[in-house]
């Protein structure tokens, strides 16, 4: 009987411990859960969204890991261009890159994300 009671108590503690909530109001932790990072200018970048946009629009030329391929290496593109300059390149093209590879809000999300690559 004591073993059964001890097993039930231990099982209950495990279940309640695993289901415990996190009421932390730390905004940076909450934004990290959403795939967001803070920019140097104080804004936030939707990292998960930008990665999805990159994968569907850019990875075929610039590589899945930004290391290049048919297009140039983007691993440190933020060292050479600001987010505004990157958005302009996405919108208008440059060299062999065609214009309009991303459209609408996707351009700014992608540009902000790439500008962090330094």
Superfamily of domain 44-118: Cytochrome c-like domain (1.10.760.10)
19 is in an annotated binding site: no
Q: Tell me the two tokens of residue 12.
A: 């209950």
Tell me, what's the pLDDT at 39?
Answer: 52
Q: Tell me the two tokens of residue 51.
A: 């990665």
Which residues of the chain have a pLDDT value below 50? 24-34
Interior angle at CA 80, CA 71 and CA 106, nearest 5: 65
1 is in an annotated binding site: no
Domain chopping of the chain, boundaries: 44-118
62 is in an annotated binding site: yes
Helix (H), strand (E) at residue 35: none
97 is in an annotated binding site: yes
pTM for the predicted model, two decimal places? 0.65
Query: pLDDT tens for residues 87-115?
Result: 999 999 999 999 999 999 999 999 999 99
């Amino acid at each position: 009987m004591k073993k059964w009671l001890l097993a039930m108590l231990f099982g209950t503690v495990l279940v309640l411990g695993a289901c415990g909530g996190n009421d932390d109001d730390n905004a940076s932790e909450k934004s990290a859960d959403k795939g967001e990072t803070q920019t140097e200018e104080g804004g936030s970048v939707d990292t998960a969204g930008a990665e999805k946009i990159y994968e569907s629009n850019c990875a075929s030329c610039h590589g899945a890991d930004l290391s290049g391929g048919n297009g140039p290496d983007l691993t440190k593109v933020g060292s050479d261009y600001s987010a505004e300059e990157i958005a302009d390149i996405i919108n208008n093209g440059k060299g062999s890159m065609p214009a309009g590879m991303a459209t609408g809000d996707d351009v700014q999300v992608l540009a902000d994300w790439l500008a962090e690559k330094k």
